[in-house]
């Protein structure tokens, strides 16, 4: 299936831990994104990579570090997790200038 896939779907972890979320797309898109959906369901961009190059870096704590090993993969590593990091994180991809976004199904992160 052509898609944007994220793993894991659910992540429950303790404060202070470090965790990673992985994203892969097989749509041939050249741009990938991380969005955060908070408890009020508002979606806000965090990062964007175009052909492995960081092009958007919103005001996000530097505990969050994206990595793009190739244009089909964009991972998100979070250090020293805090309660406020609890949210749903969505990966998405698109062609530059193009045909709209495709979203993954999300990773629900709960920090306890």
Partner 1 sequence: KQEVTQIPAALSVPEGENLVLNCSFTDSAIYNLQWFRQDPGKGLTSLLLIQSSQREQTSGRLNASLDKSSGRSTLYIAASQPGDSATYLCAAPQGGGSEKLVFGKGTKLTVNP
Q: Tokens 């200038």 map to which residue?
A: 97
Shortest Å, Cβ 102 to partner 1: 7
Distances (CA, A) of 101 to 27, 63, 92, 94: 11, 26, 6, 5
Q: How far is the CB of 47 from partner 1 (least distance, A)?
A: 10
Compute the least distance from the CB of residue 20 to partner 1, in Å: 19
Our CB check for partner 1 shows the closer of 16 and 95 to be: 95
Binding residues for partner 1, rule: CB under 8 A, are 31, 33, 40-45, 48, 50, 55-56, 90, 92, 94, 96-106, 108
Tokens representing residue 107 in the block: 């990773």
Nearer Cβ to partner 1 (49/85)? 49
Asked if residue 69 lies in contact with residue 77, where contact means CB atoms within 8 angstroms, the answer is no
Measured from the CB of residue 85, what is the shortest distance to partner 1 in angstroms?
19
Burial class, 10, CB count within 10 angstroms (exposed 0-12 / middle 13-18 / buried 19+): exposed
């Amino acid at each position: 299936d052509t898609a944007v896939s994220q793993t894991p779907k659910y992540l429950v972890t303790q404060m202070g831990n470090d965790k990673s979320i992985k994203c892969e797309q097989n749509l041939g898109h050249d741009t990938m994104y991380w969005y955060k959906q908070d408890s009020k369901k508002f979606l806000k961009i965090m990062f964007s990579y175009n052909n492995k190059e960081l092009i958007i870096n919103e005001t996000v704590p530097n505990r969050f570090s994206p990595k793009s090993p190739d244009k089909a993969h964009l991972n998100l590593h979070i250090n020293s997790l805090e309660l406020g990091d609890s949210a749903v994180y969505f990966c998405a991809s698109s062609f530059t200038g193009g045909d709209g976004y495709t979203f993954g199904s999300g990773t629900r992160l709960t920090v306890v």
